[in-house]
Amino acid sequence: MFPVARAALNLTARGIQHTAVRRAHRKYEPDFHDKYGNLVLLGGATVFTTVWGYVFTQAGIEWGLSPVGRITPKEWRE
């Protein structure tokens, strides 16, 4: 079993080395994140800020978290 495991690890290491060598000889080409990453990040931040700005100012949510004075005990029914 040990030789089989060692051969499997050797093949894995050889595959990783082969991929690294193949990528080292290619010219660098910008991918999607290099081209549009900052634009997507800014667009997401804008949408996030706009939506939460609306929720905080216009949705009519009462933000008082204390239940004091809001909860009144009910009479017991017998």
Distance, CA of 78 to CA of 72 (rounded, Å): 19
Q: In 1-78, where do the E strands start and end?
A: none
pLDDT 10s per residue in the chain (78 long)?
Answer: 567 666 655 656 666 666 666 666 667 778 888 888 899 999 999 999 999 998 888 877 666 677 676 677 778 777
The structural domains of the chain, ordered by start, are 1-57 (4.10.51)
Residue 11 in tokens = 């093949």
Q: What pLDDT is stored for residue 55 in this prediction?
A: 84
